C-alpha cells in the first residue's frame, strides 16, 4: 500500500535538516590561523609571521623615480628639484616649514627658534657659507634621515612636501643674502616691515594687523 507524505508534518523536520546541514561548513573566518607572534612548527625559523617575497611592491608605491624619493644620483646628492619650484610649491613649502621646522630653525632659518630656548641644542643657521653651498637635495636628505640631534621626519612629512620645504629653504637663503641685482625693479629698499598683532609661537602662525584706513587705498 503506497505511503502518502504529509507535508505539514514533514515541514518542521525539513527545516531542522536544512539548519543542521547549513552549519556543517568551514568558512574563512574559522579556518586555522596563527596568533600574532606565535611560534610555528612548520617553518624552519619557527616564525609564524613571514616576510614579503623579495621584490614585493605595495600597490601605488613602486617609486620608479628614485631621485624624487632619495635626492640621490648614484651616491651623490642632487642639486635640482624633481619638479618646477612654482609659487604654489614655495607657498606649500613655507606652510610646512613654519609648522614643522620653524619651532627649531626659526622663521627666517637663523636657528633662533622657540625650542632651543628650552634647552634643545641650537641648530646651525641656514645662512652660513657651508649650508648656502650644499645642493638642494641635501635638505631633502636631512629631512628624510635626520642629522646629528635632529630626528628624521620621513614619517611626518610626505616626499613632495620635503622637496617643497627644501625649495623654501633656498628662498629663505636668497632672501637673507640677496644683492641689489636680485631686487625687482620698483621694489622699495628696504621693504616696509610687516606689522603683526600676534607674532606667533613657532607652532602657530603670526596674525597680521588689519590695514589702517589711510593705507587701504595704496597700491601693494
- Is residue 203 within 8 A of residue 103, CB to CB? The reply is yes
pLDDT at 177 over 90: no
Which pLDDT does position 34 carry in this prediction? 86
The domain ranges of the chain are: 85-178
pLDDT at 1 over 70: no
pLDDT at 215 over 60: no
pLDDT at 21 over 50: yes
What are the cell numbers at 83? 619638479
Give the up-direction half-sphere exposure of residue 212: CA atoms within 13 A in the CB hemisphere: 5
pLDDT at 211 over 80: no
d(CA 4, CA 7): 9
Q: What is the average pLDDT score of the chain?
A: 86
- In tens, the pLDDT along 54-84 reads 888 888 888 889 999 999 999 999 999 999 9
- Is residue 170 within 8 A of residue 104, CB to CB? The reply is no
- Is residue 109 within 8 A of residue 176, CB to CB? The reply is yes
- Is residue 176 within 8 A of residue 127, CB to CB? The reply is yes
pLDDT band for position 219 (cuts 50, 70, 90): very low
Angle 159-176/87-96 helices, nearest 10 degrees?
A: 100
The residues that bridge with 39 in the sheet, in sequence order, are 47
Which pLDDT does position 33 carry in this prediction? 81
Which pLDDT does position 201 carry in this prediction? 75
- Using CA atoms in the order 122, 127, 132, 136, what is the torsion angle rounded to 10 degrees? 70
d(CA 105, CA 147): 14
What are the cell numbers at 129? 657659507
Q: Give the E-state strand segments of 106-205 in sequence order.
A: 196-198
pTM of the model: 0.65
Highest mean pLDDT among 21-30, 110-119, 130-139, 182-191: 130-139
- In tens, the pLDDT along 36-59 reads 889 999 999 999 998 889 888 888
- Using CA atoms in the order 193, 195, 200, 204, what is the torsion angle rounded to 10 degrees? -90
Which pLDDT does position 4 carry in this prediction? 57
Q: What percent of the chain has pLDDT over 90?
A: 54
What are the cell numbers at 200? 606667533
Q: What is the CATH number of domain 85-178?
A: 1.10.760.10
d(CA 25, CA 205): 61
pLDDT band for position 15 (cuts 50, 70, 90): confident
Which pLDDT does position 74 carry in this prediction? 95
- More confident site: 63 or 91: 91
Amino acid at each position: 500500500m503506497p505511503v502518502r507524505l504529509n507535508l505539514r508534518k514533514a515541514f518542521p523536520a525539513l527545516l531542522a535538516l536544512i539548519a543542521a546541514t547549513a552549519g556543517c561548513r568551514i568558512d574563512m573566518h574559522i579556518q586555522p590561523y596563527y596568533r600574532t607572534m606565535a611560534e610555528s612548527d612548520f617553518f624552519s625559523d619557527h616564525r609564524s609571521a613571514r616576510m614579503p617575497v623579495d621584490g614585493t611592491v605595495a600597490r601605488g608605491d613602486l617609486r620608479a623615480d628614485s631621485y624624487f624619493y632619495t635626492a640621490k644620483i648614484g651616491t651623490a646628492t642632487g642639486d635640482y628639484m624633481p619638479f618646477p619650484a612654482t609659487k604654489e610649491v614655495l607657498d606649500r613649502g613655507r606652510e610646512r616649514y613654519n609648522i614643522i621646522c620653524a619651532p627649531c630653525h626659526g622663521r627666517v632659518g637663523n636657528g633662533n627658534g622657540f625650542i632651543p630656548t628650552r634647552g634643545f641644542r641650537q641648530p646651525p643657521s641656514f645662512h652660513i657659507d657651508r649650508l648656502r653651498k650644499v645642493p638642494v637635495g641635501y635638505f631633502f636628505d636631512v629631512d628624510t634621515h635626520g642629522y646629528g640631534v635632529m630626528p628624521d621626519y620621513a614619517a611626518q612629512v610626505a616626499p613632495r612636501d620635503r622637496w617643497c620645504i627644501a625649495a623654501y629653504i633656498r628662498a629663505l637663503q636668497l632672501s637673507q643674502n640677496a644683492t641689489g641685482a636680485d631686487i625687482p625693479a620698483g621694489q622699495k629698499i628696504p621693504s616696509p616691515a610687516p606689522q603683526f598683532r600676534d607674532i606667533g609661537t613657532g607652532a602657530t602662525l603670526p596674525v597680521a594687523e588689519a590695514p589702517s584706513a589711510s593705507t587701504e587705498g595704496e597700491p601693494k
